[in-house]
Amino acid sequence: MKLNQTKALYCKILFLSLCSLTLSCSWDRFVLSRVNESTAVKAKVAKELFDKDKITIVLTGTGSPLPSESIQNSTAIFVNGQFLLFDAGDGVAMAMEKLNLPVSEISAVFITHFHSDHFADLGEVIDRSWLLGRQKPLTVHGPKGITDLVNGFLKSYQSEYYYRTKHHGEAVMPSQWKGAKTNEFAPKSDGSSKIVYEKDGVVVHAFFVNHVPVEPAVGYKIEYKGKSIVISGDTADSEFLKKQSFGVDYLISEVMNKSMIAKVEKAYESIDHDRFRKIMKDIQLYHIDATELGNLAEEAKVKTLVLTHMIPFVKGYIQTKAIYKDPIKKVYHGDLIIAHDGKRIEIPLP
């Protein structure tokens, strides 16, 4: 090789090495900035949510069993430093992480009933909170059947728990905190409420709702410092729900536009699709219609009504207004919020 060629080769090698070093340094800087940024965002969100001067509701999932763009049903409530999760429908574990919620700090989970759109992701909620650093026991509260449900998840996650601790070690993944315990309760059949959770002034009551043939099915009422929030769970129009919602600050309720579902039923009938026609007919029996809900909220003097678990799922101002807002506002004069996934509601405390 001639001297000039050798020099050129050395120059090329030097140039490529410098490029690779520069690229590697810029990747290092990029990764470090992303890690710093994501850590800072998580810390900021946790600080906001655990602010004891307010209660924060996060609508973590507003969907239903019918296909939609929403995560299935779930609502998080942050109150007096506690993170309470009501229902855990499909997709909620990952949705909470995308929203930067402090998943490892979850204090308790409450399940309303045993339709899968309310518990499908419970195994993931239990597991992810532990993987992300939960160092305290987690209790899942629910009506009769909750222990069987949770034990089923724990059994199916046995290998997952074992491998995580084996790989990362007891110090990082302490087996002591894997899984969850349960608090199984029997709601009162007369519609009165029962305290199922009480901690540092935060009280959660459970009460019977009408989602026959799903029994038991419950709603929850959360109280703290004179503020009250009711979560309906799934229910038909119900005197129990009305009684429990009387004068509450927020009623977070499921809702169905039955005339729309009746049209879907009719459409399936017209194409002789008897299976879907029957399902569309049946589901109208155990959900609450938009007008029924508006009347219930008006009669119960609910201050703010929040719609979630909307059937059918619609998006866009015009459709949402026609299908939910208009029928409800015709009869209900309080505030109305039509929720979407990730919606935050803040309630200042006295």
Output the 3-class SS for 127-183.
HHHHHCCCCCCCEEEEECCHHHHHHHHHHHCHHHHHHHHHHHCCCCCCHHHCCCEEE
Pick the closer one to Zn ion by CB: 36 or 116. Answer: 116
Pick the closer one to Zn ion by CB: 110 or 161. Answer: 110
3-state secondary structure of 323: helix
The residue within the footprint of Zn ion, chosen from 71, 109, 115, 205 (CB under 5 A), is: 115
Give min distance, CB of 87 to Zn ion, in A. Answer: 8
How many alpha carbons lie under 13 Å from residue 239 in its C-beta half-sphere? 4
Give min distance, CB of 287 to Zn ion, in A. Answer: 8
Give min distance, CB of 72 to Zn ion, in A. Answer: 8
Pick the closer one to Zn ion by CB: 102 or 142. Answer: 142
Give min distance, CB of 92 to Zn ion, in A. Answer: 13
DSSP sequence for 15-72: HHHHHHHHHHHHHHHHHHHHHHHHHHHHHHHHHHHT-TTEEEEEEEE---SS--SS--
Report how far residue 248's alpha carbon sits from residue 244's, in angstroms, rounded to the nearest whole number.
8
Give min distance, CB of 146 to Zn ion, in A. Answer: 15
Pick the closer one to Zn ion by CB: 77 or 217. Answer: 217
Q: Going residue by residue from 23 to 62, which x/- string records binding to Zn ion, judged by CB under 5 A?
A: ----------------------------------------
Select from 108-116, 263-271, 299-307, 314-322 the region that touches Zn ion (CB under 5 A): 108-116
**Residue 117 contacts Zn ion per CB under 5 A:** yes
Q: Which amino acid is at 2?
A: K
Report how far residue 193's alpha carbon sits from residue 185's, in angstroms, rounded to the nearest whole number.
12
Report how far residue 191's alpha carbon sits from residue 219's, in angstroms, rounded to the nearest whole number.
10
Q: Going residue by residue from 222 to 261, which x/- string records binding to Zn ion, judged by CB under 5 A?
A: ------------x---------------------------
Give min distance, CB of 163 to Zn ion, in A. Answer: 33
Residues that bind Zn ion in the complex, under the rule CB under 5 A: 115, 117, 234
